[in-house]
Amino acid sequence: MTDRETHWNEVYGAREETALTWFEDTPAVSMTLLRRAGLTRQSRVVDVGGGASRLVDALLADGVRDVTVLDLSAAALAVARGRLGARADAVNWVVGDVTKWDPSQPMDLWHDRAVFHFLTEEADRAAYVRTMMRALPTGARAVIGTFALDGPERCSNLPVQRYDAASLARALGDGFERIDSHAHIHRTPMGRSQSFVFGLFKRL
């Protein structure tokens, strides 16, 4: 197990899902942007670094049948699976690193909330974008949310790279076109505010 996997497994093992700073009961911004990106019941959706997020619950509630949740942390995915009970059987759960993942099928929609910003090395960002390119055929969409320029400098004791809409688009390179962006303030369970930027991108 890598240091990163150990880190994230310890994080999810140490606290309840609802006490994690990134916890949100309802993934409203993500669902709004995924619907804007063309989400249907037939969409193949991947939530990269989905962790214990309730996005998968919202997608299943909308009748989306082909959902993959990928995360470094098996402990995080176990929390989501436990919460969903029998509904978890309809989901493709993958323990893995997004920078190394080889998707078995093309996706229509890519979602990432608060994962890309942990990639502070250029080589890791390039590997992430290569995975996106492999997963998404031309015309597919990606929703990516990171800490904004005035957001926190660290999360979960790790440094992060912060973005605005333009720098996030630049980081993805010329294989993607930004078609929308959205500023969002996340309220942590402790009541702090965290500034996010979300981008909606089209694979060229």
Enumerate binding residues for ligand SAM (CB under 6 A).
8, 22, 49-51, 53, 70-73, 76, 97-99, 113-115, 118, 155
Closest separation between CB of residue 43 and ligand SAM, Å?
18
Closest separation between CB of residue 109 and ligand SAM, Å?
14
Q: 114 or 200: whose CB is closer to ligand SAM? A: 114
Closest separation between CB of residue 138 and ligand SAM, Å?
24
Q: What is the 3-state secondary structure (H, E, C) of the chain?
A: CCHHHHHHHHHHHHCCHHHCCCCCCCCHHHHHHHHHCCCCCCCEEEEECCCCCCHHHHHHHCCCCEEEEEECCHHHHHHHHHHHHHHHHHEEEEECCCCCCCCCCCCCEEEEECCHHHCCCHHHHHHHHHHHHHHCCCCCEEEEEEEECCCCCEECCEECCCECHHHHHHHHCCCEEEEEEEEEEEECCCCCEEEEEEEEEEEC
Closest separation between CB of residue 166 and ligand SAM, Å?
23
Name the residue number minimizing CB distance to ligand SAM: 51
Q: 71 or 108: whose CB is closer to ligand SAM? A: 71
Closest separation between CB of residue 178 and ligand SAM, Å?
20
Q: 68 or 99: whose CB is closer to ligand SAM? A: 99
Q: 70 or 172: whose CB is closer to ligand SAM? A: 70
